[in-house]
Structure 1
Amino acid sequence: MNTFKPVFTAIALALVSASLAPSVHAGDTLLMQRVQQEQAMNLPKKGMSMAEVERRFGQPTAKLDSRGGGSRKQPVINRWMYPGYIVYFERSHVIHAVLNTPAGNNLNPASPK
Structure 2
Amino acid sequence: MKTFKPVLTAIALALVTATVASSAVAGDTLLMQRVQQEQSMNLPRKGMSMAEVERRFGQPTAKLDARGGGSRNQPVINRWMYPGYIVYFERSHVIHTVLNTPAGNNTSPANPR
Provide TM-score, normalisation by structure 2: 0.76
Gaps of at least 5 residues in structure 1 are 1-21
Measure, in 2, the Cα distance between the counterparts of 1:94 and 1:112: 20
Aligned to 2:52: 52
Ranges of 4+ aligned residues in structure 1 off by more than 6 Å: none
Tell me whether 1:101 sits opposite 2:101 in the alignment.
yes
Tell me whether 1:110 sits opposite 2:100 in the alignment.
no
Aligned to 1:3: none
Measure, in 2, the Cα distance between the counterparts of 1:63 and 1:88: 10
Q: How far is the alpha carbon of 1:102 from its aligned partner?
A: 3.7
Aligned to 1:15: none
Gaps of at least 5 residues in structure 2 are 1-20
Provide TM-score, normalisation by structure 1: 0.76
Aligned to 2:68: 68
Measure, in 1, the Cα distance between the counterparts of 2:103 and 2:28: 10
Percent identity among equivalent residues?
A: 87
Q: Which structure's CA Rg is the greater one?
A: 1
Aligned length: 92
